[in-house]
Chains A and B, each alone.
Chain A
Amino acid sequence: MLANSKISNKMDSKKVTTSSENSYGKSLKGFFEEVTLLTRFTVRFFKELIKPPYEFNEFFKQSYLIGYKSLPLIAITGFIMGLVLTIQSRPTLAQFGAESWLPAMVAVSIIREIGPVVTALIFAGKVGSGIGAELASMKVTEQIDAMEVSGINPFKYLVVTRILSATLMLPILVILSDVISLYGAYIGVNLKGDVSFDLFFIKIFDKLVFTDVFPAVIKTFFFGFVVALLGCYKGYNSSKGTEGVAEAANTSVVYASLMIFILDMIAVQVTSLFS
């Protein structure tokens, strides 16, 4: 009896190990499958991008929705970001008697790093999830299939226009957000001090160099591309009905946010190689 129970215990533990190994193997296999599908999706995007006809009207419409319509949200967060960063940095700089460095320090932080990354994250939250949910709901309600039947290339019409718009609109949003952040920083500096706008302006541009501005702007093209690409990919390939819509919206934001940080890390390394 005892011997039998020992044997059955051993068999149970073996079963657990095998099933966990299987689940790891499955998830690893699933990850590589996903990478392959995403690569195919990206290659298809570039192919469809250069191939006529071009959906200019849809591109302008998406640019308006993705870029212009995101401006109020980006402007508010940018302003708060500049203001808060200035207020938080002041005590530390005051300890060294270096309060006069506040405008330059805040400007370099915003333009190099905080502005592009925070704006891209908010953009991922608003635009990435929106694209994911919109395409997923079109997929589950078979609107995409209907488009194909009616002779419209849904990939070109829905995916290419959205990815291109996001890639081009995010850098503009980041530039505007940076400027609004700097205005917030100017107000932050003047909450406890008295610095004229001219002096604030001179102090900022005294310390800024091209290697602060160009890499920061260039990386935002990649951020915009990744946000829209993941949103489109998740939405375009969604299934499982309404549950799939929620999943597409959620995963596109999560993966886009993660990719923004990974791309930022790579961008910093590449920039430090050249500067």
Chain B
Amino acid sequence: MKKATGNKIRLGIFVSAGFALLIVCIYLIGERQQLFSNTFHVSGIFKNISGLQIGNNIRFSGINVGIVDDVEQLTDTTVKVDMLIDNDARKFMKKNAKAIIGSDGLMGNKIVIITPGTYGQKPLADNDVIATEQPITMDDILIKLKVTGDNAATITSDLAIVMTNIREGKGTIGKLLMDTAMANEVDQAVVNIKQGAGGFKQNMNAASKNVLLRGYFKKKKKKDEEKDKK
């Protein structure tokens, strides 16, 4: 008799533990889905929701504040997304806040990101329609990447032609780099310039000692000394 009662108590604990865990699990999932919290509704009209689904998270300043409550196709180009947002976040979301569809990491689920809006504006009210921005889709990125790739291909083919011309000694840079006769001429020109500069220096020394020009050179020397003192 005593053993049977003990077994019944053990069975009761076992069953209660199972039920308690199930209820805790249901409560925690429900809490994440805003079932037990005070919420308000906001909706946004998008052209393309990029696979956003009911239950996806709403993120504000990097914090999950709600979930997507409903997705409804209005016309052939517009989709209405109803959002259920925690009331505690409402005071930070201004009337000119914007909703953008983003992604939770590279492979993650789609999320709605709400920007806060500007200071001084009134907070969002229940059932407000929030402004939206079109998300950048993977297709958009691929199209831009293709244009960039095409441009890079054109630039590299032009560069290849320029390099071929340079190697063949065509054009000014090609001659400068590849033509040995021109290099000799440049060398000779530098030698000539050096010689010319030496001759010019000698002439100037002679001129400074000339009677007619000596006064001018002395005045100039004095002015330079005064400048240095200052």
Interface, chain A (partner B; CB < 8 A): 57, 60-61, 63-64, 67-68, 71, 96, 98, 171-173, 175-176, 179, 205-206, 208-210, 213, 217
Q: Does B62 contact A (CB under 8 A)?
A: no
A209 near B18 with CB under 8 A, answer: no
Nearest first, the 8 closest Cβ-Cβ pairs linking A and B are: A172-B18, A64-B7, A64-B11, A68-B14, A205-B28, A175-B18, A175-B21, A175-B22
Instruction: Name which residue of chain A comes closest to B20, CB basis.
Output: A175
Q: For the complex formed, measure the closest distance between the CB of A233 and the CB atoms of chain B, giving whole angstroms.
A: 26
Q: For the complex formed, measure the closest distance between the CB of B25 and the CB atoms of chain A, giving whole angstroms.
A: 6
Partner of A209, one of B4, B7, B33: B33
Provided the pairs A172-B14, A175-B22, A179-B21 are in contact, do residues A208 and B8 lie with their beta carbons within 8 angstroms?
no
With a CB–CB cut-off of 8 A, which chain A residues contact B33?
Answer: 209-210
In the docked arrangement, what's the CA distance between A61 and B14, Å?
13
With a CB–CB cut-off of 8 A, which chain A residues contact B21?
Answer: 175-176, 179
What are 25 A-B contacts defined by CB distance under 8 Å?
Answer: A57-B4, A60-B11, A61-B4, A64-B7, A64-B10, A67-B11, A67-B15, A68-B7, A68-B14, A96-B107, A98-B107, A172-B15, A172-B18, A172-B19, A175-B22, A176-B17, A176-B21, A206-B64, A208-B25, A208-B28, A208-B32, A210-B33, A213-B25, A213-B26, A217-B22
A171 near B29 with CB under 8 A, answer: no
In the docked arrangement, what's the CA distance between A63 and B10, Å?
11
B14 near A60 with CB under 8 A, answer: no
Known A-B contacts: A63-B11, A64-B11, A208-B25. Give 18 more (CB < 8 A). Answer: A61-B4, A64-B8, A68-B7, A68-B10, A96-B107, A172-B14, A172-B15, A175-B18, A175-B21, A176-B17, A176-B18, A205-B32, A209-B33, A209-B55, A210-B29, A210-B30, A210-B33, A213-B29
In the docked arrangement, what's the CA distance between A208 and B29, Å?
7
Q: For the complex formed, measure the closest distance between the CB of A239 and the CB atoms of chain B, giving whole angstroms.
A: 33
Q: For the complex formed, measure the closest distance between the CB of A174 and the CB atoms of chain B, giving whole angstroms.
A: 9
In the docked arrangement, what's the CA distance between A172 and B18, Å?
5
Instruction: Name which residue of chain A comes closest to B19, CB basis.
Output: A172
**In B157-212, which residues have CB < 8 Å from any A CB?**
none
A205 near B29 with CB under 8 A, answer: yes
With a CB–CB cut-off of 8 A, which chain A residues contact B19?
Answer: 172
In the docked arrangement, what's the CA distance between A55 and B203, Å?
135
Interface, chain B (partner A; CB < 8 A): 4, 7-8, 10-11, 14-15, 17-19, 21-22, 25-26, 28-30, 32-33, 55, 64, 107
A60 near B8 with CB under 8 A, answer: yes
Q: For the complex formed, measure the closest distance between the CB of A85 and the CB atoms of chain B, giving whole angstroms.
A: 19
Of B22, B26, B33, most A-chain CB atoms within 10 Å: B22
Instruction: Name which residue of chain A comes closest to B18, CB basis.
Output: A172
In the docked arrangement, what's the CA distance between A57 and B4, Å?
9
Partner of B14, one of A57, A71, A217: A71
In the docked arrangement, what's the CA distance between A241 and B62, Å?
70
With a CB–CB cut-off of 8 A, which chain B residues contact A172?
Answer: 14-15, 17-19
A61 near B18 with CB under 8 A, answer: no
In the docked arrangement, what's the CA distance between A63 and B9, Å?
12
B29 near A209 with CB under 8 A, answer: yes
With a CB–CB cut-off of 8 A, which chain B residues contact A175?
Answer: 18, 21-22, 25
Instruction: Name which residue of chain A comes closest to B10, CB basis.
Output: A68
With a CB–CB cut-off of 8 A, which chain A residues contact B55?
Answer: 209
A61 near B29 with CB under 8 A, answer: no
Q: For the complex formed, measure the closest distance between the CB of B24 and the CB atoms of chain A, giving whole angstroms.
A: 9
In the docked arrangement, what's the CA distance between A263 and B154, Å?
62
Q: For the complex formed, measure the closest distance between the CB of B115 and the CB atoms of chain A, giving whole angstroms.
A: 22
With a CB–CB cut-off of 8 A, which chain B residues contact A96?
Answer: 107
A61 near B7 with CB under 8 A, answer: yes
In the docked arrangement, what's the CA distance between A61 and B28, Å?
33
In the docked arrangement, what's the CA distance between A236 and B18, Å?
31
In the docked arrangement, what's the CA distance between A205 and B22, Å?
13
Provided the pairs A209-B33, A210-B29 are in contact, do residues A171 and B107 lie with their beta carbons within 8 angstroms?
no
Provided the pairs A96-B107, A205-B29, A209-B55 are in contact, do residues A67 and B22 lie with their beta carbons within 8 angstroms?
no
Q: For the complex formed, measure the closest distance between the CB of A104 and the CB atoms of chain B, giving whole angstroms.
A: 10
With a CB–CB cut-off of 8 A, which chain B residues contact A206?
Answer: 32, 64
Of A57, A64, A71, most B-chain CB atoms within 10 Å: A64
